[in-house]
Amino acid sequence: MRAWTVVVAASLCVFFQAASAQPVIPAGPFHDAMRGTTPIDEEAKPPLIAPIENKDVISGRAYAQQPPTIPHKIDGYQLDKNANRCLACHARSRGAESGAVPIGVSHYLTRDNATLGSLSPRRYFCTQCHVLQADAKPLVGNTFKGAEDVRVAPGPAGPNAAGKK
């Protein structure tokens, strides 16, 4: 019985010492990649919006199946249930006349892969997937590598396996 009392007393002693300890405040200023040095209890000043590129140059894609980005300004474009200004140039029937890249055939398919004679309703709002290009610094680092950039070191079952030539 006495050993039990000693264990309980020692545990309570350690608990009260830990509870009374003050939190350690780092010596340097607070810094967060997104907030900068703005304290948590204050509103961070948002960065200026980068200017939209208007070069009409199609950029490369960062990953497979990435929707192409929009290489021109779309300020004032009507894009709602009543009208889609993008179709004035990018509809397949207008591509040759406007010189714009026509909408891909995937935009004319239903969920069941049936081909429609017009744009699929689920692909009507272009800016759901396609975004404008801006010359902006990334807010956080990115170490993404495409499948074609990933190299696998040969292991025991590789071409240089022991005993194989």
pLDDT digits (tens, 9 = 90+) for 99-111: 999 999 999 999 9
Domains, the chain, in order of start with CATH, read 46-136 (1.10.1130.10)
Answer with the residue of higher pLDDT: 27 or 161: 27
pLDDT band for position 157 (cuts 50, 70, 90): low
pLDDT at 137: 78
For the cut 70, the answer to whether the pLDDT of residue 5 exceeds it is: yes
* Nearest CA-CA partner of 47 in 149, 138, 141: 138
Quick one: average pLDDT of 3-21? 72
For the cut 70, the answer to whether the pLDDT of residue 158 exceeds it is: no
pLDDT digits (tens, 9 = 90+) for 108-150: 999 999 999 889 999 999 999 999 988 777 778 888 777 777 7
- End-to-end CA distance of the chain, in Å? 72
d(CA 155, CA 152): 9
pLDDT digits (tens, 9 = 90+) for 19-66: 666 777 767 777 777 778 888 888 888 877 888 888 888 888 877 788
Note the Cα 61 to chain centre separation in Å. 13
Q: What is the mean pLDDT of the chain?
A: 81
Which amino acid is located at 138 in the chain? P
